[in-house]
Every structure is written in structure tokens, then in C-alpha cells.
């Protein structure tokens, strides 16, 4: 039986403190590069999309992506999260093989079912999303990315669980190359428009999934177990509810914008939202990729619990700095890389980024719900948040347009943060201090407001550079993160011991 409750772990591994600390930090850096590669795929494609696609065509791509994302949540059963937990707590190689094979088999089967259902219902889905049957062939074609993206998820999670950071980076760069080169060929060279983007996406995902699966097969065999599959699904079920609810919060506004405004507005808003995704990819996901696997090891030894507060304060301020950087640089960047029809997206970006800061904090403070397997709280809170968000979209978008959509999302993320913190704290007190992250947030808001004033007198590039330099100076000067705390945090990382997991 797999562990249901983590122990405090008295047994140390043969890895020394210094070796483990160096591995901890080096893997974070490598995962960071991998996340940057993934973010670059989306960011590098933006100049291509915004030059060779009209805002309405970009809106079509966004709605197709929305459909696949929704289907991935429903048919993928969010097995990736449960895989990391059960694989990390497995006690033998045979057990780990069963976790890997069971997770992969479930994901492949459910995603295949999802693709078949999307193809059968392509005409209906086209009418719902776009108001006509004209896009049914694109719905059927783009649905193939659902299957290939699904079978890509578990092998990459396996590489993370096995601390094979360099392979994660290698496959991320490989997919980046595929996405850019195939889009250049089908969209720019052949001029196929939206159809070219769809074909490029399908091929890039297929080739990536095939290569990473073959690579994983060299390291561990796949062994399927129905009983273990049931455990994975049981753990993931509340997370599915949470993921579906998060989908509503993240993508529901696109549908309201299309109905109340038009496809061009969807395209502009989607571009602004890409910078929110970029914050998560560049400022948070590199850390979270490592942290999701390592935090259980830290939890098992109570002597290491002070690391939670130290790491949270430092990483939260860093992600706030990335959010500020994106907010102040987005305007000059858009003016260089995109058609003028897209420039209005810059004003929405700071609002969206604030919401994603709240989302990043939430993904750290949910520790108590996960270590105590109380994921039903996680799902219920997110579902209620999604219902609130839908109501906010329905009320705010007709009156305030794209600004109403952005503020509805940000307010919802903030309410969800408060609720998850309340219930997670009751299960496990991480000992977090909120002064550093909240102070950094206030500083960033003030500097962004200053940006809108200064651009009336200074060039946008000069304003962005000045504010980017001002934030770290203020953080140190005001003692938000003392230099001594930065030193202490890295010292704690070097002292973490990796311990084995005992069966209950």
C-alpha cells in the first residue's frame, strides 16, 4: 500500500548536505531554463501571430486552445498531480513502475476518448464557440493536440520525479524548436493562416510526445495496475473539480467577450493574457517545478520546516519583481513586435499580472491540503470561486469590456487565495510571514501607477528601465528582504537532508 501519511523520516540518504544543496539549487536553475524555453515558445510565436494573423484570427486560435484546455482537464483527470505524489512516496522500483504505467495508461486512454468525442461533435462545438459551422474542420484538427499533449504529460512528470532536470530542459528546447520551425513553415512560408497554426501545433505536439515517451522507456518499464489507477483517480478527483473551475476562471471571459464584443476583442485580450501566463512561466513555474517534488521531502523532517517561510518570502518578492518588469516593459515590447491593432493589450497586462501573483501564492500555501490529502477542500473552494467569477464576468464585461474581464479574474484569484490559505493553515501551519510579499506587491502597484504618469514625459523605454532598477533598491532599502535573510535561505537549502520514505 502506498503511503497515505508522510513520516518525519529519520533515515538520511548517502547524499551529503552540500551535495544535496547544490543539486537542489542547480535543478531549480535547470528547470528555470526549461520553463523559459516553454515560455519562449509562446512568446517567440507572438511576433509571428501578430504579424501574419488578424486579431480576429488570433481570437479563433485562442478559442480553439480554450476548447482543448477544457477537454484536457476533463479527460486527463489531472493524473499528473497524483502521479508526483504517489511516485514520490513509492517504496520500491516495482511500485514506481506501476505508478508510471498506470498513470500513462489512464491518460492515454481518456485523452483518446476525448479526441473521438471532439471530432464527432465538431460541428456543434463550432456553432457554440464561433456562432457558425465554418470552423468545424479546425475543431476536429486541433483536437488531436489533446491526445498528444496528454501522453506528453506523464513522461515529463517522471523526469521531474527522477531529478533528470537536463532531460526536461532538452525536451523543452526540442519542443521550442519544433513549434517555431513548423509555424514558420506552415504560417509564414505556406501562408495557411489559422489552418497552418493548427497543423503546426498538432505536428509539434505529436513529435514531442513520441520522443519523450521513447526516452522514458529506456529508464523504467511501464506496468499497469487497476487498483493503483483507482487510487490515482481518487486522489485526483477533487483536483479535477478544481481544474475545471480554474478553467472557467482563466478562459470563461473569452466566451463572454466574444458574445458581448467580437472575435477581435478576444484576440487583443488573449494577447494581454499571454503576459500573465508569461509571469507564471518565467517567474514561478521554474521554482514550482522543483518545489512540487521537493516540498514533501522537506515536510517529512520537522527540522527543515523553517525553510517554508524563508523560501516563500524570497521567491514571492522575486516573482513580484518579474511581474513589475513585465508590466513596465510590455508597452515598448508590443510596439516593436506587433501590429498597432494589438497595442491596446498593454493597458490590461498589469491587472492580469496582479491576479497571477495571487495565483502563484496560492500554489505555495496549499501545502496543508495536499500533505493531509484534503484535496476536496481545494476543489470545493475553486468551484465556488469559479461560480463567483462567472457572475462577475456576466456583470462587468457588458459594462466595462476588457477591463471588466481582467478585474473579475484578479478579484476571483484574490478571494480564492484567502479561502485556501484559511483551510490549508488549519491542516498544517507553514509559519509564513506575509509582510515581505504584501509590501513588495504595494511597491509594484505604486511603481506601475508611476509608469502611467511618467510616460507622458519620458520615452517608454527610459521609464521601463528606471522603474526596473528602482524596485530592487527599494526592496533592500525598506528591509522587505534583508540581505541576511537571503544568505540564511540559501544556507537552509544547503542543510536539507533527503530521507527515505517508510511504509505505513
Check whether 396 has a pLDDT greater than 80: yes
More confident residue, 315 or 393: 393
Q: For residues 234 and 1, what is the distance between their CA atoms, to the nearest angstrom?
A: 15
Q: What is the pTM of this model?
A: 0.66
Q: Are residues 240 and 199 in the same domain?
A: no
Question: What is the phi/psi pair of residue 218, to 5°?
Answer: -75, -25
Cell of 164: 533528470
Check whether 495 has a pLDDT greater than 70: no
pLDDT in the model for residue 10: 37
Residue tagged 501573483 (cell numbers): 357
**Residue 200: pLDDT band by 50, 70, 90 thresholds?**
very high
Average pLDDT estimate for 470-487: 75
Q: Are residues 337 and 210 in the same domain?
A: no
End-of-domain residue from the set 190, 224, 258: 224
Residue 501 located in a structural domain = no
Average pLDDT estimate for 154-173: 77
Give the H or E element holding residue 132. none
Check whether 78 has a pLDDT greater than 70: no
Residue 329 and residue 468 in contact, taking contact as beta carbons nearer than 8 Å? yes
Residue 3 located in a structural domain = no
Q: Are residues 248 and 216 in the same domain?
A: no
pLDDT digit string, tens, across residues 342-376 = 888 889 999 999 999 999 999 888 887 777 767 67
pLDDT in the model for residue 381: 85
DSSP 3-state of 250: helix
pLDDT in the model for residue 141: 93
Q: Are residues 281 and 172 in the same domain?
A: no
Q: For residues 334 and 44, what is the distance between their CA atoms, to the nearest angstrom?
A: 12
Residue 502 located in a structural domain = no
Residue 2 located in a structural domain = no
Check whether 23 has a pLDDT greater than 60: no
Cα–chain-centroid distance for residue 398?
29
Q: Are residues 193 and 263 in the same domain?
A: no
Residue 62 and residue 49 in contact, taking contact as beta carbons nearer than 8 Å? no
DSSP 3-state of 499: strand
The least confident of 108-122, 270-284, 475-489 is 475-489
pLDDT in the model for residue 353: 94
Residue 39 and residue 282 in contact, taking contact as beta carbons nearer than 8 Å? yes
Q: Are residues 201 and 279 in the same domain?
A: no
Check whether 89 has a pLDDT greater than 80: no
Check whether 229 has a pLDDT greater than 90: no
Mean pLDDT score of the chain: 79
Residue 43 located in a structural domain = yes
End-of-domain residue from the set 196, 224, 252: 224
Residue 8 located in a structural domain = no
Q: Are residues 362 and 393 in the same domain?
A: yes
The residues, ordered by sequence, that sit 6+ positions from 473 with a Cβ below 8 Å of its Cβ are none
**Residue 400: pLDDT band by 50, 70, 90 thresholds?**
very high
Select the highest-mean-pLDDT range: 290-294, 442-446, 490-494: 442-446
Check whether 63 has a pLDDT greater than 70: yes
pLDDT in the model for residue 412: 94
pLDDT in the model for residue 500: 35
Residue 9 located in a structural domain = no
More confident residue, 176 or 194: 194
Distance (Å) of CA 403 to CA 97, 273, 396, 397, 442: 49, 12, 8, 7, 21
End-of-domain residue from the set 177, 201, 224: 224
Find the Cα–Cα–Cα–Cα dihedral 283, 353, 69, 146, rounded to 10°: -30
SS3 content of the chain, % helix, strand, coil (to 5): 85, 0, 15
Q: For residues 277 and 260, what is the distance between their CA atoms, to the nearest angstrom?
A: 24
Q: Are residues 267 and 155 in the same domain?
A: no
pLDDT digit string, tens, across residues 111-134 = 888 899 999 999 999 998 888 888
Check whether 144 has a pLDDT greater than 80: yes
Average pLDDT estimate for 324-339: 85
pLDDT in the model for residue 369: 79
pLDDT in the model for residue 238: 65
Q: For residues 113 and 173, what is the distance between their CA atoms, to the nearest angstrom?
A: 30
Report how many domains make up the chain. 2
Q: Are residues 219 and 250 in the same domain?
A: no
**Domain containing 58: what range?**
16-224
Considering Cα of 399, then 400, then 406, then 409, what sign does the dihedral take? negative
pLDDT in the model for residue 199: 94
Alpha helices in 261-305 (DSSP H): 263-279, 285-299
Check whether 307 has a pLDDT greater than 50: yes
Q: Are residues 404 and 452 in the same domain?
A: yes
* Residue in 215, 212, 230, 218 with CA at minimum distance from that of residue 98: 230
Check whether 20 has a pLDDT greater than 50: no
Residue 137 located in a structural domain = yes
Average pLDDT estimate for 273-278: 83
More confident residue, 104 or 18: 104
Check whether 503 has a pLDDT greater than 90: no
Cell of 268: 487583443
pLDDT digit string, tens, across residues 4-14 = 333 333 333 44
More confident residue, 76 or 150: 150
The least confident of 18-22, 78-82, 412-416 is 18-22
Alpha helices in 143-221 (DSSP H): 144-161, 165-183, 193-217
pLDDT in the model for residue 447: 93
pLDDT digit string, tens, across residues 282-304 = 777 767 766 776 777 777 777 76
Check whether 501 has a pLDDT greater than 50: no
Q: Are residues 254 and 180 in the same domain?
A: no
Q: Are residues 154 and 130 in the same domain?
A: yes
Q: For residues 453 and 349, what is the distance between their CA atoms, to the nearest angstrom?
A: 17
Rg (C-alpha) for the chain, rounded Å, is 23
Amino acid at each position: 500500500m502506498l503511503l497515505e501519511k508522510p513520516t518525519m523520516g529519520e533515515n538520511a540518504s548517502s547524499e551529503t548536505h552540500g551535495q544535496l544543496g547544490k543539486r537542489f539549487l542547480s535543478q531549480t536553475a535547470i528547470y528555470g531554463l526549461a520553463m523559459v524555453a516553454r515560455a519562449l515558445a509562446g512568446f517567440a510565436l507572438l511576433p509571428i501571430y501578430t504579424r501574419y494573423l488578424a486579431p480576429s484570427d488570433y481570437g479563433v486560435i485562442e478559442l480553439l486552445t480554450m476548447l482543448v484546455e477544457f477537454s484536457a482537464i476533463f479527460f486527463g483527470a489531472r493524473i499528473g498531480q497524483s502521479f508526483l505524489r504517489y511516485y514520490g512516496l513509492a517504496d520500491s522500483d516495482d511500485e514506481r513502475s506501476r505508478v508510471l504505467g498506470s498513470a500513462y495508461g489512464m491518460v492515454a486512454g481518456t485523452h483518446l476518448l476525448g479526441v473521438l468525442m471532439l471530432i464527432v461533435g465538431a460541428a456543434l462545438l463550432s456553432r457554440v464557440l464561433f456562432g457558425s459551422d465554418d470552423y468545424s474542420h479546425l475543431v476536429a484538427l486541433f483536437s488531436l493536440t489533446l491526445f498528444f499533449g496528454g501522453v506528453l504529460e506523464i513522461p515529463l512528470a517522471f523526469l521531474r520525479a527522477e531529478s533528470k532536470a537536463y532531460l526536461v530542459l532538452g525536451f523543452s528546447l526540442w519542443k521550442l524548436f519544433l513549434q517555431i520551425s513548423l509555424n514558420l513553415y506552415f504560417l509564414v512560408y505556406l501562408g495557411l493562416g489559422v489552418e497552418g497554426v493548427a497543423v503546426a501545433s498538432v505536428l509539434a505536439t505529436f513529435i514531442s510526445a513520441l520522443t519523450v515517451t521513447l526516452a522514458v522507456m529506456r529508464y523504467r518499464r511501464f506496468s499497469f495496475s487497476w487498483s493503483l489507477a483507482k487510487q490515482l483517480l481518487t486522489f485526483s478527483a477533487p483536483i479535477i473539480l478544481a481544474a475545471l473551475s480554474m478553467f472557467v476562471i482563466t478562459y470563461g471571459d473569452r466566451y463572454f467577450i466574444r458574445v458581448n464584443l467580437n472575435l477581435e476583442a478576444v484576440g487583443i485580450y488573449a494577447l494581454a493574457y499571454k503576459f500573465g501566463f508569461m509571469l507564471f512561466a518565467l517567474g514561478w513555474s521554474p521554482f514550482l517545478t522543483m518545489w512540487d517534488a521537493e516540498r514533501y521531502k522537506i515536510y517529512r523532517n520537522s527540522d527543515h520546516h523553517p525553510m517554508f517561510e524563508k523560501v516563500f518570502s524570497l521567491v514571492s518578492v522575486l516573482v513580484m519583481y518579474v511581474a513589475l518588469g513585465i508590466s513596465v516593459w510590455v508597452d515598448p515590447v508590443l510596439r516593436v513586435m506587433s501590429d498597432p491593432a494589438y497595442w491596446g493589450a498593454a493597458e490590461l497586462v498589469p491587472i492580469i499580472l496582479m491576479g497571477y501573483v495571487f495565483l502563484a501564492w496560492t500554489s505555495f500555501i496549499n501545502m496543508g491540503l495536499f500533505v493531509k490529502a484534503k484535496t476536496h477542500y481545494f476543489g470545493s473552494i475553486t468551484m465556488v470561486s469559479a461560480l463567483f467569477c462567472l457572475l462577475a464576468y456576466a456583470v462587468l464585461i457588458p459594462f466595462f469590456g476588457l477591463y471588466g474581464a481582467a478585474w473579475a479574474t484578479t478579484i476571483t484569484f484574490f478571494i480564492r487565495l484567502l479561502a485556501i490559505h484559511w483551510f490549508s493553515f488549519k491542516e498544517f501551519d507553514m509559519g509564513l510571514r506575509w509582510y515581505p510579499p504584501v509590501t513588495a506587491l504595494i511597491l509594484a502597484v505604486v511603481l506601475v501607477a508611476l509608469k502611467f504618469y511618467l510616460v507622458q514625459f519620458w520615452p517608454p523605454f527610459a521609464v521601463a528601465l528606471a522603474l526596473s532598477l528602482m524596485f530592487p533598491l527599494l526592496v533592500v532599502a525598506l528591509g522587505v528582504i534583508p540581505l541576511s535573510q537571503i544568505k540564511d535561505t540559501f544556507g537552509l537549502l544547503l542543510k536539507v537532508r533527503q530521507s527515505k520514505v517508510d511504509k505505513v
